[in-house]
Each structure stands twice: as structure tokens, then as C-alpha cells.
Structure 1
Amino acid sequence: MTPFPTQLSGAAFLAANRYALLADEPRVGKTGTAIIAADYIMAADVLVITTASGRGVWKRGFADWSVFERTVQIADGKAALTANVVIVGWPSLTNAKIMAQLLARRWNLVISDEDHFAKNFDAKRTQALYGQLLDGGAHLQNLTALYACADRVWPLTGTPLPHSPADMYPRLRALAPNRLLADERRGWPDVTKYNDFLHRYCVVKMKKLSQFNRIPVVIGGRNLPELRDRLEGFILLRTQADVGIRPPVYDTLPLIVSPAAIRRAEADLDRSAILAAAKTGDTKSLEMHLGPLRRITGEIKAEAVVDAVKDEFACGLDRIVLAYWHKDVGNILLDGLAEFGVTGIDGSTPADARQKNVEAFSSEGGPRVFLAQIEAAGESIDLSASAVLYFVETAFSPKSMKQMSLRVTNHTQKRQAVVKVCTLQGSIDEALQASLMRLWAAIREVLK
């Protein structure tokens, strides 16, 4: 493969640092960049932690990008891990047998792909990679942490702050603790402990769960120029625009359905509470108010989307990606559009079939419809064979929405990518999606 100039400069950045975060946006080329950098430092033993969809991408990536003939193995918990490059899924970090195998080796390099999966020290996978906090973060227990078994660690993620500035803490605490220390000359306090970091860089509101239980909820950021200065030299972030990829155009697609269908979808919903929760990004409250009715709304939209897509194909559209959440919604789309050829990825798709389905969608004369379950297909795959993506259903997480929407962009995408969020016209769903899109747009603006 011929690298882009930004991949070469990114590889040089990684190779020059023992610990460094590559935060290029999706489709900018992080996989190739990291593999080229691994060649620069002549890493013999490499551990790659990635998603289910990413395992096949990385296995092929070493063949495409590396000048060395390393052996590559995907960890399955059965065979001994003897290859030069071992690729493991994030869920496997909670598998005691696989972790024992990984901790038994000394790695020249650990690449944690989609490192936002390790954004919370309460999660077992974060502890497996970065250790466990003691005394609120004053100390870090790393005897069973993978980063302590590696000469170098390079986290990769296109969404380094999926929810708030607090998401940066685990990788800084483990890999760059000196950046958390006080600097009297610059007026920086010590933020080694998590709560100190949280309250220094986040606006936090305490949410009452019960009479005896309140939890902190991040509702904004603060002192962000200071945090950016602490990160200088540790993080490299290039946008799609920086490498000549045009960002998608975002819009809504109002779907007209019968008043009876809207009544069925809305039932006894509390409109004011739902819109207030959407405005503040309170995803738990949204889940509580909407619950199973999200699926009903999704099914009604799916039936209308089938007709809309048939019209688009009749007007000359070649391929389309349909993103959804619920399995029943995917089944409606599959049945309704079967005549056009349908493939896709959902949570049950085997790892070895995921890349094959993507390749089929990209092939001449292949399926024209790709059904992408948002959490399962939102990362590490290239769907730029299509320039159109519809969110039949949405996720409450801006990170998931962004990751999914950028699947249809790439260096080779010669058309303007279009992303549309489907809404039920005249319903609470239309107002809810508009509110979520405003939040999504604000986050995209901050990360420019």
C-alpha cells in the first residue's frame, strides 16, 4: 500500500514516543499509520487490542502495510499465543485464560485500537489494560496491567472524548502521569486523583438516584485550554478535512405515516420530560421514558424506510447503508429490501464473516443494501462503496453516531457523502431527533 503523507508524519510521531495517542478521525488511516510506525521501531512482538470487526482489518493490515513478514494470530483462548503479532478483542481482556497468556509475554509494542473502550477505570477491560486505581488515583496498581508488560503503548481512537473531558483520564494516569502533576509556574493544580481531574476539567452536577444515593453527571467542560496544554506532545489529531476527505452532509428525512401509527408509537409518553432529557444529554432518563417504545417507533420507521429506499433505487441510487439499533427493525429492512440484495453486520455476525460482508457490499454486482447495527458496525469498517447512509434508528451517544456516519467517507470517496436521520413527521420522535442532532452538531464543532 502507498501511504499518504499524513500517515508517514503520524508514524514518525508515534515512533518518536514511547507513549502517544493517535486520535485521527475515522477513515484518516490510523491502522496503516500505526503499522508503519511499528516497522520504524522494528517491533518484533506486537499486541493489538481491537473490536470484533477490527480483528480482520488488522490481520489484513499487517499484510498490506508492513515490510516485514511477521506471523499474525487472533487470540481465541484455545491455542498458545506464539505469533509475532497477536490480535485480541476488547471483551477478551476479561477472559482469565487469555489475560494470563498475554501477561506472560513481554511486548515490544501494545496498540490499543478504539481506546475509548478504556475510558472508565471501573470497567474490567480498562483495569486489564491500564491497572486499578488506589486511593482515588493517588496510586496505580499495575501488576496485572498490560501496559506494564510493554516497551511502548500507542492508544488509537477517532473519538478520544466520547462523552466528556474525563474520558482522557485513564490513559493519562497510566501512560503520562507527569502531565497530571502541579505546575506552579503555569498555575496548574495537581490532578493525579480522578476526582481532582474530573472537577478541574468538567462541569459536574450531582444527580439524585434516591434519598441516600447521588452520582456525579458531567454536563460540560471547563479549563479546557489548560487540558489541551497538558496534552501537547502526547496526542496527534488530524481531521478528515486535513487529509482531503469531505465530511458528510447531515440532514433529516421526515417519514409520513398515519396518525394511528404515531399514536401507537407515542402511547403515554411524557413529551416535556423526553425533550428536557435530550437537551441535557441525559441518556439514562431517555431510556427510562422511552424504553420498549423505541423499538415500536423503529419498526414503524423501518416500514416507511423500505418504501423510501425503493423510490431512491428507482431514481438511480446505487447502494445505501441503513443504520439501526433493534434486531426486529433490522429484520423488517432485510425482508422489505431482499430483492435488491442485502448484507450487513449485527451483534451476532461471526468475526470472520464481517470483513467478507463488507467486501461483498463493495464488489461490482454485490448487494445494494448494507444493514449496520450501530454498535456492531460503527467502527473499523469501510462502507464507502455507498455515499448515502440513513439512520433508521439513532443512538443516544454522539460518539456512536459520529463513528457510524463516517463509515461512508474515505480517501477514495469521489461523491459527497450524505447522512440522513429518519424521523416520524409530526411526532415526538421528530422533535427528539432534532434535539439530538443539535447536540451532535455542537460536539462536532468542538472537535474541529
Structure 2
Amino acid sequence: MELDEWELSVEELDSLERDALQKISQQRHSSSSSSLSTNQQQPGEVPSRILPASVAPKANPADQCSKEQLPKVSLKFILHATGNIAAKFPYNQVLVDAFRKIPKATWNAKERLWMFPQSSLSLAEKVPCEVPGCNIEVENLHPLVQRAIAAASALPDLQGFLSPLSQSFYRFSGMAIAVAACVRDSWPVLILAPSSLRLHWASVSSHQLHMIEQWLNIPPSDIVKYWKRYYQHLQVVFSQMGGSNRSGFTILSSNSKGDIHLDGLFNIISYDLVAKLENVLMASEFKVVIADESHFLKNAQAKRTTASLPIIKKAQYAILLTGTPALSRPIELFKQLEALYPTVYRKVYEYGERYCKGGVFGTYQGASNHEELHNLMKATVMIRRLKKDVLYQLPMKRRQQVFLELTEKDMKRISCLFCELEVVKGKITMCKSEEEVKSLKLVQKNLINKIYTDSAEAKIPAVLDYLGTIVEANCKFIIFAHHQPMIEAIHQFLLKKKVGCIRIDGTTPASSRQAFVNDFQEKDAIRAAVLSIKAGGVGLTLTAASTVIFAELSWTPGDLIQAEDRAHRIGQVSSVNIYYLLANDTVDDIIWDVVQNKLENLGQMLDGHENSLEVSSSQEHRSPTKQKTVDPIHQGSPGKQKTLDSFMKRCNNMDDAEHQSKLKYPRNM
């Protein structure tokens, strides 16, 4: 039996409440009856304290029942995590009796809420008006929430059409394909994807048959593939025709003078080409549209977003796929939600005020009402599948911080920039005009970006020194970086050491990426993958490595998580060790804090609880060639690192004081 903090069961508490309320009601009734009998005029008695009927003011029933004179009761309707509606109010027997009469209403004793299905909301909203003797202050569901619930309830439930096999796909990995199988009468299908993922959808690899051919039994001849050939700057269509192409596709240029006809059952196009072929796509009347990695549509001003949304809105069935719907903040969800429910998410202002903590000049960079937004998406649009829920046998992921020792020469320039930054911050606090604040904020942003690039260059020698120890371990590893100088230095270092490696960054042709991935996965001689965080962090499977290194950080937590998961995914048989190479008094101090704060907001919004980059341990890397003797405790963990608990959660095994003192403490900006 479940006990609460008073050591009483829920049933016992409810019983006590009912008994107490009943006694209070009886006492009030008894007192009222006594008062009434005292004031009644007896025959022959002179009513010394009662005005004659001709003089006494006539009682106004409205005044007697004035709500201002009645005890106030607060009633709040909320959208529960289960998708049902919940009513929250302090104990009131009259209200309890009223909610008991609502169809399918149940008492949630654990959370002390009355729960009922969305279909009963209209009846529940009438309760405050129909309950006598109470002054009820009602907080209804937000209008946006009500519209979203109504729109979602009007849609058909496709699960009823799924076969048992398709339901298995639907619940775990093949959601889009299973839904497409349910609506075969509405084919053909248009698939929008990042350029690097088009082959994932449309080609047959050496490891597995491509998903469409295998699951839906669709021949390659019915798959039309748009492709961009970087060297020729052409957009082309792949379609099987006599096996003239090694992948079984015939290449047609979208720059040809003739019209482009999308006549395949499955038509795959990159986001970058949607704007160019927008008229063709709109005229093709696709009723089923799948948008892979839909967070690519987060930017309202981007061409890919403005071109893709009308196509998705026009479709009868739209499926958006992404493991990270928002990379940093709730506003990144708006365009995706608008694509699915254009009649619900009509005004960015309404959404921004509710879930983005308002915003100056419509920027909406904040976050608010996390729980409601999470419950709303879960109830209307989001099927969230976490690895821990579906991949029970996937090995653990273990993060470690490695603090690099930079030379005074490397640090001198960065220290000067930080001094400039402090001066600018001081000026901002002294500003009296808004224009001056804007100007100085821009200067501050440029300085931080300068610190970002200079920190990368300053870290290069220490990163390469650390990389030497990894090379000696003779294991396969992935190393991520952001700036080209860092990527180039790492690549050249590995080539000089004669370490077989692949390199994927923004300059790598999309047509070559899968071949590089296959080499890394299959060839023992290829021991390293040098990747940019942006270009190499999405759509690649690199499970041949169980060691992941970050030479730099990204401002966007979603980028880091996705990059980590290139190795931590289906097919991984070993625990994945992730090493973040950090340097004190560099931009790492700023970014680590920013990433943690953003992750907390994203976790509440998407998963219903705060997330963080949990670090299991920290260590300091010192070059063996350096003779300078420094106390490692003080060097790796200056006094400012004592209060890390204020911004980052730790794993349970981090009780050791030595490890705790070395964890990174952010620079407060």
C-alpha cells in the first residue's frame, strides 16, 4: 500500500478528509438553524432588534449568493503526461461529487488529480458554473493547447490499420515506413532528407538491403533519387534502367531543358534542392511526405524551410523524423509543429509568449512552461523513443573530461581577449540607452567568436600531443572538431604518423561519404575518422570505434549528442568512451556552461525531465616532454571549480573528492 509523508495511506487520508468535512458541514448547519430560530418573531413579541417589514430592505437573492462572500476555490485544468486532462483543486466535497459524475473520470491518488479523457473536457468545463455554494476561480487550458488537442483528436488512428509486423516497426525504428505501408493508396511518397542521407534511403549497402526495398518490397525501378553532383553542380535523378549505373540508377540532370517528372513510387530529394524544384514538387500533388532529420527546418528564415513547409502542409499524411527535434531551445520546434498543424500553430507570437519566455523583438530565445509543452507534443505529435527504452543491450556511454595544459605563449592572446570582454561587459552595465546596449552586445558577441576561433588554434599543440597517446594505443577512434585549422592539423598529424584515416567535413562530397564510412567500418588499416561536428555528426554509423574524442565543443548541445551517437548506436558491442578535451581559461569555460543550461531546457521539453552531459571522471593530460613541475590538483582544478554542483549533475560513482575537484567549472558570462 502506498504511503505518503504522514505515514498514512491515500485511502486513509481521503477517509479522514471526508469525515472532517462532514463534521464541519454538520456544525455549520446546526449553527445556521439555531441562528434562524432565534431571529424568528414569536406571536405577541415586539421585535426590538428586527426592522419592520415595511422598513427593512428586501433581501436580494443575488446578494445573498454573491460569489465574493463565498469561500474561493482554485480549479486548474492541465494536460497530463498521459494525454488525458487533469483537474487540480484543493479538497472540496462539492467539487469532488461533481467530478465523479464526469464520464470516465478517475481519481489519481498519487498526484492527487482528477483525470478524464479529452472527450470529457467540455463537460468538465461546465462544472464551475453548475456547482452551487462555491466561488470557483478557473484556469482553463491555454487556447493553443485546446486547438492542438482538438486537431489531433480529429485525425484517424493509423495503428488500427497496422499489421503486427508493421506495429513492431512503428514502435521502434521503422515508423515512417510502417505509416507509409498503411496508406499505400495515397502513394507516391516524397522523402525530404539531408544530402548526406539520401543514399541511406535509396541505395543497397554491403551490410543490409535498403529499407524501402526490404520492408515494402519495392523494386529499385520505382525509386527516383535526386542527387547533386558537386563537381558538375548538377541535380540529377536516379532511376533503374538497364543497370547502366553501378547502383542500378540512371542519371538525369534537373538542369536539362525538358520537364522533370517525379513518377517513382518513392521520390527522394535533399532539402537543398527543394527551393529549386518547388514548383515541380507542388504540382506533383504528393499526399505522403516524409521529412527526415526534420530539425533542418528549425530556421524560419532559411530557404529550405520556406520552400519545404508548403509541400509538407499540402500533404494528406506528413511524417517528421528526428532524434533531436530541437537542438537548443523551444522556438526551434515551431516550424516543425506548424508543418504538421498549420491551423493550430498560426502565430509565432502566441507560441513564443507561452513556451519561449516571451522575448525582445520577437527573438524568443528563452524557455518556459516546459512540462506543458512536453505533454502537448507527446499527446498530439510526438512519439519519443529513447535508446534506454528500446535498445536494452546497447552498451553504456561514458564521458570523461581531459584538461589540456596550454603554454603561456598560446594563452597570452586569449587572456587579452578575455580582458577586453570584461571591459565590454562593464560598459554594458553602465549604458543608459538601448541603442548603446545593442552596439556593445554586438561587440561582445564578436569578441566571444574571436575567443572561440583563437582557442581552437591555441589548443592544437596540446590536442596533437594527446592524440599521440591515442595512436599508441592502436585502437580505432573518432575525433571531432569544428574549425578548419584544427581539423587540418589533426588530419596532417595522422598522415605524418602513417595512421590510416578518413576525413569528412563540409568540403567532402556527399557521394563519397558512404564509401569513407564503409572503409572505416570494414578495413582494419583505417584506424581514425576525422570529422567535423556539423558535417560528420549526422547520419553516419561508425560503430567500429568505441573511442570518441572531442577536440572542440559546439555551442549546440544537440550537435554534441548526435556526434557521440555515431559510435553509440545499433551494432555497437563495446562500451563507448567519450573524451572531451578542455582547456581552462579558454572558450571551453563559456561553452560548457551554455551547453548544460540548454540541455536542461531541452530535457524538460522533450523528455519531461532535465538532461545534462553527465561526466563520470576527469583527468589532466600533461605532455611528457614538458619539464615544468606543477601540482596537478591545483593546475587541473583551480579554486573556482569548487561549486560545480550548481550547474552539472554527476553520475552516482562521483563521490571521490579527488575526481570531484577536477570537474570543469564554467566561466560566468
Q: TM-score, normalization: structure 2?
A: 0.53
Distance, in Å, in 2 between the alignment partners of 1:385 and 1:64 is: 24
Contact residue 248 and residue 406 of structure 1 kept, 8 A:
no
Deviations along 1:34-71, one digit per CA (max 9) or x if unpaired, are 23432343364121111121111111333454322252
- Aligned twin of 1:8: none
2:262 maps to 1:88: no
Deviates more, 1:262-271 or 1:234-243: 262-271
Q: Measured at CA, do residues 274 and 388 of structure 1 come closer, stay the same or move farther in structure 2, by a change above 3 Å?
A: farther
2:562 maps to 1:403: yes
Deviations along 1:386-440, one digit per CA (max 9) or x if unpaired, are 112111122111222222122111122121212222112x323342244245335
Contact residue 129 and residue 147 of structure 1 kept, 8 A:
yes
Contact residue 321 and residue 369 of structure 1 kept, 8 A:
yes
Deviates more, 1:67-76 or 1:234-243: 67-76
- Aligned residue type for 1:125: R
Distance, in Å, in 2 between the alignment partners of 1:274 and 1:308 is: 35
Aligned with 2:347 (options 178, 185, 193): 193
Distance, in Å, in 1 between the alignment partners of 2:273 and 2:492 is: 34
Deviation at 1:444, TM superposition (A): 6.3
2:321 maps to 1:163: no
Deviations along 1:117-171, one digit per CA (max 9) or x if unpaired, are 21243333222222xxxxxxxxxxxxxx212443311011111122322333223
- Aligned twin of 2:410: 261
Distance, in Å, in 2 between the alignment partners of 1:412 and 1:371 is: 20
Aligned with 2:577 (options 375, 397, 418): 418
2:37 maps to 1:37: no
Deviations along 1:187-237, one digit per CA (max 9) or x if unpaired, are xxxx6422011101221342xxxxxxx453422222632662364142100
Aligned with 1:249 (options 366, 389, 398): 398
Q: Measured at CA, do residues 252 and 227 of structure 1 come closer, stay the same or move farther in structure 2, by a change above 3 Å?
A: closer
Question: Counterpart of 1:394 in 2: which secondary structure?
Answer: coil
Contact residue 253 and residue 420 of structure 1 kept, 8 A:
yes
Question: Number of paired residues?
Answer: 384
2:218 maps to 1:68: yes
- Aligned twin of 2:471: 313
- Aligned residue type for 2:318: V
Structure 2 counterparts to residues 34-433 of structure 1, below 5 A: 34-42=176-184, 44-60=187-203, 61=210, 62-70=212-220, 71-75=222-226, 76=235, 78-79=253-254, 80=260, 81-95=262-276, 98-130=277-309, 145-177=310-342, 180=344, 192-206=346-360, 214-222=361-369, 224-225=371-372, 228-229=375-376, 231-244=378-391, 245-246=394-395, 248-270=397-419, 287-316=445-474, 318-338=475-495, 339-424=498-583, 426-433=584-591
Please identify the structure whose Cα radius of gyration is greater.
Answer: 2
Distance, in Å, in 1 between the alignment partners of 2:503 and 2:586 is: 29
Contact residue 201 and residue 227 of structure 1 kept, 8 A:
no
Question: Counterpart of 2:289 in 1: which secondary structure?
Answer: strand
Contact residue 15 and residue 38 of structure 1 kept, 8 A:
no
Q: TM-score, normalization: structure 1?
A: 0.77
Distance, in Å, in 1 between the alignment partners of 2:444 and 2:518 is: 36
Question: Counterpart of 2:539 in 1: which secondary structure?
Answer: coil
- Aligned residue type for 1:51: P
Question: Counterpart of 1:291 in 2: which secondary structure?
Answer: helix
Structure with more contact order per residue of length (Cα contacts < 8 Å, sep ≥ 6): 1
Contact residue 341 and residue 367 of structure 1 kept, 8 A:
yes
Distance, in Å, in 2 between the alignment partners of 1:72 and 1:102 is: 16
Deviation at 1:239, TM superposition (A): 0.6
For structure 1, list consecutive stretches of 5 or more residues without a partner in the other structure: 1-12, 19-27, 131-144, 181-190, 207-213, 277-282
Distance, in Å, in 1 between the alignment partners of 2:424 and 2:520 is: 37
Contact residue 205 and residue 219 of structure 1 kept, 8 A:
yes
Q: 4+ residue runs of structure 1 moved beyond 6 angstroms?
A: 273-276, 283-286
Distance, in Å, in 1 between the alignment partners of 2:571 and 2:521 is: 12
Q: Measured at CA, do residues 126 and 285 of structure 1 come closer, stay the same or move farther in structure 2, by a change above 3 Å?
A: farther
- Aligned twin of 2:633: none
Deviations along 1:91-118, one digit per CA (max 9) or x if unpaired, are 11222xx222222212242111111121
- Aligned twin of 2:438: none
Q: Measured at CA, do residues 14 and 327 of structure 1 come closer, stay the same or move farther in structure 2, by a change above 3 Å?
A: farther
Contact residue 549 and residue 579 of structure 2 kept, 8 A:
yes
Distance, in Å, in 2 between the alignment partners of 1:170 and 1:233 is: 15
Distance, in Å, in 2 between the alignment partners of 1:194 and 1:65 is: 39
- Superposed CA RMSD in Å reads 3.1
Distance, in Å, in 1 between the alignment partners of 2:379 and 2:471 is: 48
Distance, in Å, in 2 between the alignment partners of 1:315 and 1:107 is: 53
Q: Measured at CA, do residues 176 and 246 of structure 1 come closer, stay the same or move farther in structure 2, by a change above 3 Å?
A: farther
Q: Measured at CA, do residues 216 and 226 of structure 1 come closer, stay the same or move farther in structure 2, by a change above 3 Å?
A: closer
- Aligned residue type for 2:180: A
Q: Measured at CA, do residues 285 and 407 of structure 1 come closer, stay the same or move farther in structure 2, by a change above 3 Å?
A: farther
- Aligned residue type for 1:45: P
Distance, in Å, in 2 between the alignment partners of 1:153 and 1:274 is: 48
For structure 2, list consecutive stretches of 5 or more residues without a partner in the other structure: 1-155, 162-170, 204-209, 227-234, 237-252, 255-259, 427-440, 608-669
